[in-house]
Structures are given as C-alpha cells and as structure tokens.
Amino acid sequence: MRGGIPYYIIQDLRLSVAGLSRALMANPPYNEMFSREGAGRAHYLRYSQWLGDQPAERLAQKRAEADALFHRVGITFAVYGQEEGSERLIPFDIVPRVLPREEWIQLESGLKQRVRALNSFIHDIYHDQQILKAGIIPTEQVLCNSQYRPEMQGVDVPGGIYAHIAGIDIVRDDAGEFKVLEDNLRVPSGVSYMLENRKMMMRLFPELFSAHRVAPVDHYPDVLLDNLRSVAPTGVADPTVVLLTAGAHNSAYFEHAFLAQQMGIELVEGQDLFVRDEAVFMRTTQGPQRVDVIYRRIDDDFMDPLVFRPDSMLGVPGLLTAYRAGHITIANAIGTGVADDKSIYPYVPEMIRFYLGQSPIIGNVHTWMLRNRDDREYVLAHLPELVVKEVHGAGGYGMLIGPAAPQTEIDRFRQLIIAAPERYIAQPTLALSTCPTFAAAGLAPRHIDLRPFVLSGREVSIVPGGLTRVALREGSLVVNSSQGGGTKDTWVLET
Amino acid sequence: MLSRTADHLYWMSRYIERAESLARMVDAHHRMSLLPHSPDELAGSLQATMKALHMIEAYAGRHARIEPQSVFQFVSLDREYSGSIFSCLRSARENARAVRGSLTSELWETLNSTWLDARSQAARRSVDIGEFVEWVKERSHLTRGVTIGTMMRDEAFHFTRIGTFLERADSTARILTAHQSDLMPGADAGGVPDPFQWSVLLRALSAFEVYRRVYRDVITPLRVAELLILRDDMPRSLLRCCKEVYGNVRSVANQQSAETVRRAGEMHAMLHFARMEELLSLGLPRFLSQFLAKLNDLGSRIAADFLGSQTEA
C-alpha cells in the first residue's frame, strides 16, 4: 500500500512520550465501540456481547488460522531485495470496524460529492482553468506543480472522468466527526484487502454474519469492470479492458493479479503491449489483439518512455500518442496527481462550492498554508503542538510531529519553514479514533482510519465499506508509517 | 491469451513435471540403496543417470565423489543448483505467481503451499530423502489433479499440458539413455538379466507394476524398450507423450504455427507406426539422441510461435 498508514496514527507506545501524552489527554480519542462514559455504542452491542462470550483459546486459534490461510492464499506484499518467494503478510485483526447505517449514508454522500468536484477540477485544469481565473486557487500553485501534466492540456477523455478509482482516506476526530485526511487519485490500492478481509471473517466467524446484517462488498470487481467498460473510447461496442502492472516484484502485485482474475481480464505488463497506428495492442498467442481500456497500476512517470521517464521499462512507448488521439482510455487518467497533492488539498472544500454549488458534507482536517503570512505566524508560534508536512513529500518523509519531536527537530523545522514557507503545510495533531484490537497482551484500543473506494464512470458509486487500517504495535518505539500497519474488516450495517 | 502468460504456464508445468521425474529417479535409487547391492553398481547407475540429465558438471563442482547420499541431497535439496527438485519447485511457483490471475485459485494455492512446505522442509537440519521424494510425488499428483479438475479447457490448459508432456518425453528419453546399454539386444545374452538395473529403470518411470501386468513374464530388454517407447497406453512412454503434445499443439494452432504442428504430428506418427525391430536395427542410442534433438527443436518452435515476443506484424 502506498505510504502505509498515515504517519500520525500514533501507536500507543508513543503515549510514553510525555508531550504527546499530554496532547492526547487534552483531547482523548473517540472510541468506535464505547462512549466516553464506557457504555457500548448501539451498533456494536451485539458484537461486543458475542465477543464477551468467546473463550480466549478460540479467538487465539482463529487468529492463527487466519494467518495460515493468508499465507497459503498468498495474500502478501512482496518485500524488495529479499530471496525470491519471500513475502510478508499485512497483519489482520479479527475485531471488525463497524459503521452504523446512518453514518455510512452521510459518508457516502460526502464522498460522492467530493470525488465529483475533484473530477470537475481536473477537467477544468486541463481545459478552461476557470477556477484559476476566478482566483480561487493561485495559478502558480497548479501550473508549477510537478504533478501537473502539460501533455494533457486540451485532451478530452471519455465522460470527462479522470479519477475513475479514488481512495479517500477518512479519519474520525476526538469529537467523533469524520474528516478527509487525504485524497488518493493516482493508483490507490488496498481494495483487495477489503475483499479478502471480508472473506476471511465469513470463514472464521460465520455465526456473526447470521446475527448481523452486514452490507456485502464482494461485488466490487463487477462494479469496477462495469465502470471501466463505461469509459471506453466512443464507438467501441465491446471494449477489451486490461490491468497494467509493474510485475510480480511490485509490492501490490497480489492486488493486481487478484483484481484482474476477479474481473476476468488480462493482467499485462508493459512488454505485453505495443502501439501501432495510434492504437494499443497486446501480444497474444493468436497474434495482436486490440486494447480499449487500460486500468493501470503504475505511476504516470513510467507510462510512456517517449514522453515521461525515458529509462522506464514498465511502460509502453507511444502510449500517449494513442491516448491523445482518443483511441485508448487510461484509468486513472494521466495527470490526476494535480488534484491530490498536499498543496491542493486545502482547496477541495472550495472546489465543491465552485463546481457543485454545494457546501461540503465531509470537511477537511484544518490546514494552515504556510505561504500565507497569518497562518505562518500562528504555526511558528505553536510548532510543538502541530504536525508539519512537506507539500511534495510522500511516505512519511520530511515531516514534523510537534508533540513527539525533540526541541532540536522543532528548531530545524522552524528554519526550514522560514526559508521556504510555500513548501510546507501544518495541521493539528489528531487524536484519531480507536477501535478494540488484539495486541500482544490482549484486547486494547488502537488507532484506525478508513479508505473507501469511490468509482466514477457513467455514475459515481461506492461499495459500502472500505479498508480499515489499524496501527498495531510492533515492539519498537520507532514509529514509521511503513511499520506496524494492520487491517480490519469493515462492516456497514444495513439495519 | 497473452504470449507471456502462455510462457509462464508452460514453464510452470514443465518445472513441476521435472520435479516429479527427478523425485522418481531419486526414489528408485534410494530404494536400491537400502538393499544389499554392490556400491559400485548403484554409483554406476547414478553416474549414468546424472550424465544423461547433464548434472555431472554442477555436481562435480560441489562434491568430490559420486556417493549416493550426497547425490540424493544434491538432486533433491541443493538450493543453489538450479536443476534440483527444490529449485524446480521454486521456479514452478515463481512462474505461477507471475500469472496467478490466469490460474484457478486452487491451482495457485497448491503450488504456493508446495513451495512454502518445501522451503520449511529444506530448512530442517536433517531431511529423510525417502519421505521428501514421496512428498514431491504427492504434490505433483495433487497439482496435476487440480489442473485437470479445475481448469477450463482453454488455451491456458493446453499450454500447461504441452509443458507437462514435452518435459515428460524429455525425461523418459533421458532415463532410457542412461540405461541404453542394458537395452541393447544381447544385453541379457549372458543369461539372467540384471534385475537391479531393470527395476531402477522401471521404477523411475513408474512402470514396474505396469510391466508385470502387461507382460506377466520375465523382464526382457526388448519388452522394456517397447513398453517405454511404443506403448500407447503407458502414461510415460514416448509415444503417449508425443500424442499428448501433438493434440494440445493442434488445439492452440495459430497463423504461423503450421510447420510446428506438422513436426509434432510427424513425431507422433513416427512412433505410432514404428516397430521395435526397426528401432533396434537403427540402434537405440542413435534413436534416442535423434529423438531428443527433435524434441528440443519442437520446444524451440513452440516458444517462437506462441510464447516468445512476437514481431508486431
């Protein structure tokens, strides 16, 4: 999974760091299962009763069974640079994250609204740029962004859809409010874990599913395929869809293979495709076969060595020519990164107002843009309380978690911000909601987030649920976004 | 289907078949090592077999002398030697992983857990070779059963089967090569045939019981050769393998494969209408080396016509 868990899902061990502990004590996190007074939340009642009835040995045995099954099925991510055939499991926690129906309805409409606005924004940026002309977003912040692709200017894509698959990271703050933490509009991953976690839960605890009305998720591949076919180039009656992967050594390869198999489409690598007369073909045992839609799981930079990185072996030479001629659909489109960049994120609520004339249903995490003088002054005065992120940084690099950082680190960031304020944003340290989770010593609260997957094509749709990621303790005091992330099954209750 | 996918499927099944053939070979010799035979005899048979399988050089790089235990260890579990059973299981799994979306999940899980088990067995301090090769055979049976029982009869299946039978034909021909001197007319002229060599040969090809059922008589070189070369109903015979290769190649024929299909058919027809006397008058060594050369040619042609990076035209 790109980026792993968000860096400021703080592991519990981190609570021993005095500053952070104080910060969290001032705003204790929202617990998904229990209210502040310790009463069970209504939608978890039946589950927590059931859990209380389970002998510890049974749960331990089920956890071991889950591990063995995940290994056998090969639901793993490749670990780079180790012996061939060695892959790691993403830890799976058997306590589900449960969302009541009314919360999901609100989330669903908020997510659809947000993704509609994001698609309108990308279309606008690559066409008339009205939002820039209206002065809502500073022009240079978009056009000088490294994720802006001038090659896409004036290119029409089917239905005007760019982010066909969006993974929106949602967190719940200490007041119990949902907030968007991040939009992932390039190649969001993790949906296979949503599907496999559900399969695993149904296998381990079938009785829970007869006692609860859990909205199904296993039709996601059908919806995805339908969505991809609906955005084929005009005039193609029966489009051929393929999934483009970087290959078996890519960390998300399991997911690529899984989705291709579930959709019944070919899993191709760059070497399997070629471009002739501005059309894309794949090499098959029966000769070349025309391809209409590419669900790509590699980044823009690697797509076409003739246009982007010339050293890329993963892409297809000439692909952009075919794309610009409208003979192939690429999902997600080239250039969507311009809308999920951290420097653009603060403007998404404005986009919703600008393009849809609506007020946002789900808000952003409050963000200070350090290029603005007022914001900068506030942040510099409150650094020990805040989280500072580098605008173009990714994967947990170049950031400051104020409450947990030593004074020297805070001083270093102060200098960095003063030197180049436009390169940074700041956010409050969030007390992310927690959910009971199996830790070494037994059940304990652990911080979680949620990544639902929003599909846009003929219409916008979301399979009820998503991937719940949980910060598990890894026996180390070092918190790193790529360490210790686990997953849970996510239940949306129908009643 | 994608040429690359077909290529991975083809090699996946070749490697599994190769692991099984090697396991049979080790098994036959391992059994014999438990019986009171002259050590020279066993070492001689191992030497001839390794020579036919082109293993001598790699073996000599690691072990000074041909000793049964080190040969068994080398062929079964040597992690560095790319031709060991262990390496074959890894290669089968790596090929499967590259196209796991084209396999049924049961087939993928079978190959994946075979590899995971092999890895943990190899990590043990001492491995019972007899148990290990027995386990390899079982996993191969299971893989074959899952293949036949769960895969669509489409191109993916045909390429899988082509890999299986090309590899099996190759293996049978090489084991026959290792024992060719015992199969020449007059090899038993001295009276009693060498029961040791026969049983190794027949067991390595899973033909010991079949032989008894078919002939209900003493073992003679002519019949052994006939059983393993010309019997249509013998699963590991050259004729049977060529018949399967031909049928499967025909099913995947494309615009450029006419000559390949013809040659596969020719190999099948040649064996189908052959008589043992003719083969013997040609000389078994000559026949076997010609056969292996043709098989090799067929393999290259299949790779070029279906599996390789095709030209764009």
B31 touches A at CB < 8 Å: no
What is the average pLDDT value for chain A, to the nearest integer? 87
- Give the pLDDT confidence score for residue B203 in this predicted structure: 85
Instruction: Determine, for residues A72 and B3 on separate chains, whether the beta-carbon distance falls below 8 Å.
Output: no
Residue A445: pLDDT band by 50, 70, 90 thresholds?
A: confident
Residue A283: which of B112, B252, B309 has the nearest Cβ? B309
Better pLDDT: A390 or B192: A390
Instruction: Write out chain B residues lying below 8 Å of A256, CB-based.
Output: 101
Please compute the mean of the pLDDT values over residues B176-184 and round it to a whole number: 82
- Give the pLDDT confidence score for residue B241 in this predicted structure: 98
Please compute the mean of the pLDDT values over residues B148-169 and round it to a whole number: 96
pLDDT in tens, A104-140: 999 999 999 999 999 999 999 999 999 999 999 999 9
A171 within 8 A of A429, measured Cβ to Cβ = no
Distance CA B100, CA B90 (A): 14
Q: Given the structure tokens 């690691």, which residue do they identify?
A: B62
Please compute the mean of the pLDDT values over residues A271-276 and round it to a whole number: 95
Residue A73: which of B2, B6, B109 has the nearest Cβ? B109
Instruction: Write out chain B residues lying below 8 Å of A322, CB-based.
Output: none
Please compute the mean of the pLDDT values over residues A346-355 and round it to a whole number: 97
> At A457, which amino acid appears?
G
β-pair partners for A169: A182
Predicted interface score ipTM higher than 0.85: no
Strand positions, DSSP E, A153-311: 165-172, 178-184, 241-244, 266-268, 273-276, 279-284, 287-291, 293-296
- Give the pLDDT confidence score for residue A80 in this predicted structure: 52
Distance CA A295, CA A244 (A): 6
Whether residue A481 is predicted with pLDDT greater than 80 in this model: the reply is: no
Residue A78: pLDDT band by 50, 70, 90 thresholds?
A: low
A272 touches B at CB < 8 Å: yes
Instruction: Determine, for residues A287 and B102 on separate chains, whether the beta-carbon distance falls below 8 Å.
Output: no
What is the average pLDDT value for chain B, to the nearest integer? 90
B102 touches A at CB < 8 Å: yes
Instruction: Write out chain A residues lying below 8 Å of B97, CB-based.
Output: 74, 85, 248, 253, 257
For residue B108, what are the contacts with CB-CB under 8 A and spacing of at least 6? A74, B96, B97, B100
- Give the pLDDT confidence score for residue A105 in this predicted structure: 97
Which sequence spans correspond to the domains of chain B? 1-151, 153-313
Instruction: Write out chain B residues lying below 8 Å of A261, CB-based.
Output: 100-102, 105
How distant is the Cα of B62 from the closest Cα of chain A, in angstroms? 22
For residue A425, what are the contacts with CB-CB under 8 A and spacing of at least 6? A342, A343, A345, A346, A367, A368, A369, A370, A388, A389, A391
Better pLDDT: A442 or A361: A361
Whether residue B112 is predicted with pLDDT greater than 90 in this model: the reply is: yes
Residue A248: is it exposed, middle or buried by C-beta count within 10 angstroms (0-12/13-18/19+)?
A: buried
DSSP annotation of A389 reads: E
Residue A393: pLDDT band by 50, 70, 90 thresholds?
A: low
- Give the pLDDT confidence score for residue A16 in this predicted structure: 33
Instruction: Determine, for residues B97 and A274 on separate chains, whether the beta-carbon distance falls below 8 Å.
Output: no
- Give the pLDDT confidence score for residue A411 in this predicted structure: 93
A465 within 8 A of A494, measured Cβ to Cβ = no
Instruction: Write out chain A residues lying below 8 Å of B312, CB-based.
Output: 274, 276, 281, 288
Whether residue A276 is predicted with pLDDT greater than 50 in this model: the reply is: yes
A203 touches B at CB < 8 Å: no
User: Which range (A78-92, A234-248, A337-351) has the least confidence?
Assistant: A78-92
**Predicted TM-score (pTM) above 0.90:** no
CA-nearest residue of chain B to A245?
B98
Instruction: Determine, for residues A271 and B4 on separate chains, whether the beta-carbon distance falls below 8 Å.
Output: yes
Residue A8: pLDDT band by 50, 70, 90 thresholds?
A: very low
pLDDT in tens, A353-363: 999 999 999 99
**Percentage of chain A modeled with pLDDT above 90:** 68
What number of other Cβ atoms are within 10 A of residue A460's Cβ?
19
Residue A396: pLDDT band by 50, 70, 90 thresholds?
A: low
pLDDT in tens, B57-110: 999 999 999 999 999 999 999 999 999 999 999 999 999 998 988 899 899 999
Instruction: Determine, for residues B94 and A85 on separate chains, whether the beta-carbon distance falls below 8 Å.
Output: yes
A394 touches B at CB < 8 Å: no
A225 touches B at CB < 8 Å: no
Measuring CA to CA, which residue among A202, A223, A198 is closest to residue A211?
Answer: A202
How distant is the Cα of B307 from the closest Cα of chain A, in angstroms? 7
Distance CA A184, CA B231 (A): 63
A287 touches B at CB < 8 Å: yes
Whether residue A476 is predicted with pLDDT greater than 80 in this model: the reply is: no
- Give the pLDDT confidence score for residue A25 in this predicted structure: 57
B255 touches A at CB < 8 Å: yes
How distant is the Cα of B173 from the closest Cα of chain A, in angstroms? 29
